[in-house]
Amino acid sequence: MFLALLGTSVLVFFMIHMIPGDPALLIAGIEAGPEVVEQLRRDLGLDQPLYKQYWSFLIGALHGDFGTSIRMRVPVLEEILERLPYTLAIALGGTILATLFGITTGVIAAVNHNRLGDGLVMVIALLAASTPSYWLGLMLMLVFSLSLGWFPSIGIRTPAHYVLPIVTLAGQSGGIISRMTRSAMLDVLGQDYVRAARARGQRESVVIVRHALKNALIPVLSIVGLRFGNLLAGTVLVESVFAIPGVGRLLVDAVLWRDYPMIQGTMLFVAGVFVVVNTATDLLYGVVDPRIRVGAT
Amino acid sequence: MKSQALSRFRRNKVAVASGMVITGFVVMAIFAPWLAPFGPLEQDLTNNYARPSLENPLGTDELGRDTLSRLLYGSRVSLGIAVSSVIIGVFVGAVLGLVAAYSGGVVDSVIMRVMDVMLALPGILLGIAIVVVLGNGVINTVIAVAVFSVPTFARLVRGSALAVLQLDYIMASRGLGASGVRIVLAHVVPNSLTPLIVQSTLQLGVAILIASGLSFLGLGVQPPNPEWGAMLSKGRELVRSTPVAAFAPGMAITVLVLSFSLLGDGLRDALDPKLKHR
């Protein structure tokens, strides 16, 4: 995880520095005289060798200093933290909904293997996994807020505002988790101990929930962890659709405005959370399944 | 062996149907100028946000451009980006994977660690990062999606190359004096082909999703280019005024992406029955 985080920081840092153009010139504006630009360059440390710049960027980032936004003239981290609650709420809500949907439908499909229920669930899951989230968002908005008026369409003021973005975000992952659960359940249902449980005369519901699902959940769990990171990145699209002032929207605006410190900060922040969550999932995997221990081999 | 795979594929109705759908989109892309009633950039400001009619079966957008025509021309852009980015991704990924597998040691670790870092970033984020560096536009969108595809293919090719390289006949061929390049090209590449074909098909769908997502955000293909994602960038206004015009491009993306993933699954089952999933 440490390596991945370090690699990400190198990637983000050098990516920004590969951009043609002089950030000092950009900040100072076109009318600024050469001495002003030179001064700014010194202040920003841009006259230092690249590895020194990277070092101070890294040390700063570790201390929570991501620099100052060029456009908004506020510390990058402050702005991120201010917008984070919206993004986190949607991403968490989306993950929970996708997991509930995925596991329920996946189990239904596996239990009804090769029957109508299975086919139906798989069609829905595949459709959900193939639909672009921003378009799903627009269509949900069309049906549930513009036509039926059940939910507000844009903004994020009341709890009702969260419903459509969360459903939108959950769609793709819900489909993926559903397929995953189904195949894990099918694997487990063919195992001897499930047959043994049935032979002992256990009720079918007990067999499915206690014997099969419990074991099928292990691979599913790792997918859920991976999906959370993807959902976090997916907020970039969903926040644009629903005009939510979250971190995703912040990143897109920063790119459109060429606000480099902000791009660097948000990118590193989202990627960092993504990497940390994935590692946490790996560790949790070991807790749930004692056969797997990270670093044991 | 090939004919067996073909007959297995033919029996899979879903895969055949998705292959036909994709062919349909390709035909649409090629013959767009003949099929489309209007040009993709033809504006009619007196007829903007028009509801579907005989003249504009899918309505018009904010500048009075015919949605159906733009959709038809858009298949060129979307398919073109997906295909070219996946080809680049396969090529670069395969070269990196082969070099890593054949060299081993430090070269292998360095290449694969870099791939790991790239895989550690969510696709859309990596795409945005590349667009930040290169700027937007069609070519840069292709590059962004290609870079995103590289690590997947590098891993895949490295994996199957490693599996092949340790087989006895490679040792025999080396003993007969075959050069490294010859071993890789004559033995490793053909043996990695099946998973590569399957993964490329699946990746085409992913590429379409990422490219259209970038364009929707205004970071990929720029308006007035009729890319499907870019057509939706004015989404909210479009949904309010001409729902059909907002519905059509997304539906096209969904159907195409779905077809690619079903075709990929079908190809896997047909080409490699051992991997058959239920």
**Pairwise pLDDT comparison (A190 vs B258), residue with the higher score:** B258
Q: Give the tens place of pLDDT for each residue, A62-73.
A: 777 777 777 777
Let me know: does B211 contact B78? Beta carbons within 8 Å. yes
pLDDT value of position B91: 93
Task: Say how far apart CA A173 and CA A230 lie, in whole Å.
Answer: 9
If phi > 0 it is left, if psi is from -120 to 50 it is alpha, else beta; for residue B135 that is left
Task: Say how far apart CA B112 and CA A57 lie, in whole Å.
Answer: 26
Report in angstroms the alpha-carbon separations of A123 from A62, A116, B257, B264. Answer: 46, 11, 13, 16
Which residues are registered as beta bridge partners of A68?
A75
Give the residue on A whose Cα is nearest the Cα of B260: A130
Let me know: does A231 contact A95? Beta carbons within 8 Å. yes
Percent of chain A with pLDDT over 90: 4
In sequence order, which ranges of chain A are alpha helices (DSSP H)? 2-18, 23-28, 34-44, 50-62, 76-111, 116-130, 133-140, 160-189, 192-199, 204-206, 214-241, 247-257, 260-288
pLDDT value of position B29: 84
pLDDT value of position B57: 73
In sequence order, which ranges of chain B are alpha helices (DSSP H)? 2-11, 13-30, 32-35, 67-103, 105-119, 123-134, 138-165, 168-175, 180-183, 189-216, 228-231, 235-241, 243-271
Q: Which of A80-84, B35-39, B271-275 comes out lowest in average pLDDT? A: B271-275
CB-CB neighbours of B41 under 10 Å: 14
| A141–B contact, CB cutoff 8 A | yes
Give the mean model confidence (pLDDT) for residues A27-48.
71
Residue among A19, A126, A142 minimizing CB distance to B239 = A142
Predicted confidence (pLDDT) at residue B7 exceeds the cutoff of 90: no
For chain B positions 84-123, those within 8 Å of chain A (CB to CB) are 113-114, 116-118, 120-123
Predicted confidence (pLDDT) at residue B186 exceeds the cutoff of 60: yes
Report in angstroms the alpha-carbon separations of B106 from A265, A295, B101, B114, B166. Answer: 32, 21, 11, 12, 19
Q: Is A279 exposed, middle or buried (0-12, 13-18, 19+ CB in 10 A)?
A: middle
pLDDT value of position B89: 94
- Which range has the top average pLDDT, A54-63, A184-193, B84-93? B84-93
Q: Give the tens place of pLDDT for each residue, A233-277.
A: 888 888 888 888 888 888 888 888 777 788 888 888 888 888 788
Provide φ and ψ at B66, rounded to 5°.
-70, 120
Tokens describing residue A174: 């819900």
Predicted confidence (pLDDT) at residue B1 exceeds the cutoff of 60: no
Percent of chain A with pLDDT over 70: 89
Q: Give the tens place of pLDDT for each residue, A138-172.
A: 888 888 887 787 887 777 777 778 888 888 888 88
| A255–B contact, CB cutoff 8 A | yes
Contact A130 B258 (CB under 8 A): yes
| B124–A contact, CB cutoff 8 A | yes
Contact B216 A134 (CB under 8 A): yes
pLDDT value of position A30: 65
Which residues are CB-neighbours of A293 under 8 A, at least 6 positions away? A286
Residue B207 — very low, low, confident or very high, per pLDDT cuts 50/70/90? very high
Residue among B117, B133, B232 minimizing CB distance to A138 = B232
Give the residue on A whose Cα is nearest the Cα of B132: A255
pLDDT value of position A21: 62
Residue among A4, A154, A234 minimizing CB distance to B116 = A4
Predicted confidence (pLDDT) at residue A293 exceeds the cutoff of 60: no
Report in angstroms the alpha-carbon separations of B275 from A104, B198, B201. Answer: 26, 12, 16
Give the mean model confidence (pLDDT) for residues B266-271.
83
Let me know: does A242 contact A193? Beta carbons within 8 Å. no
**Pairwise pLDDT comparison (A257 vs A101), residue with the higher score:** A101
Provide φ and ψ at A68, rounded to 5°.
-120, 140
Report in angstroms the alpha-carbon separations of B110 from A111, B96, B230. Answer: 45, 11, 37
All residues of chain A having their beta carbon less than 8 Å from the beta carbon of residue B212 are: 132
Give the mean model confidence (pLDDT) for residues A205-221.
80
Q: Give the tens place of pLDDT for each residue, B108-132.
A: 888 888 888 788 777 788 888 888 8
| B131–A contact, CB cutoff 8 A | yes
pLDDT value of position A158: 78
pLDDT value of position B81: 92
pLDDT value of position A6: 77
Residue B204 — very low, low, confident or very high, per pLDDT cuts 50/70/90? very high
Give the residue on B whose Cα is nearest the Cα of A142: B239
pLDDT value of position B87: 95
All residues of chain A having their beta carbon less than 8 Å from the beta carbon of residue B120 are: 4, 7-8, 271, 274-275, 278
| A252–B contact, CB cutoff 8 A | yes
Predicted confidence (pLDDT) at residue A296 exceeds the cutoff of 50: no
Contact B132 A16 (CB under 8 A): yes
Residue A281 — very low, low, confident or very high, per pLDDT cuts 50/70/90? confident
Q: Give the tens place of pLDDT for each residue, B55-112.
A: 777 777 777 787 788 888 888 888 999 999 999 999 999 999 989 988 888 888 888 8
Q: Which of A211-215, A233-237, A290-294, B252-256 comes out lowest in average pLDDT? A: A290-294
Indicate the average pLDDT of chain B: 83
Report in angstroms the alpha-carbon separations of B131 from A41, A218, A238, A286, B146. Answer: 25, 37, 19, 38, 12
Residue among B114, B116, B261 minimizing CB distance to A130 = B261
Which residues are CB-neighbours of B199 under 8 A, at least 6 positions away? B152, B153, B156, B264
Give the mean model confidence (pLDDT) for residues A208-230.
80
Contact B212 A132 (CB under 8 A): yes
| B254–A contact, CB cutoff 8 A | yes
Q: How far is B61 from chain A (nearest CA, A)?
A: 15
Give the mean model confidence (pLDDT) for residues A207-235.
81
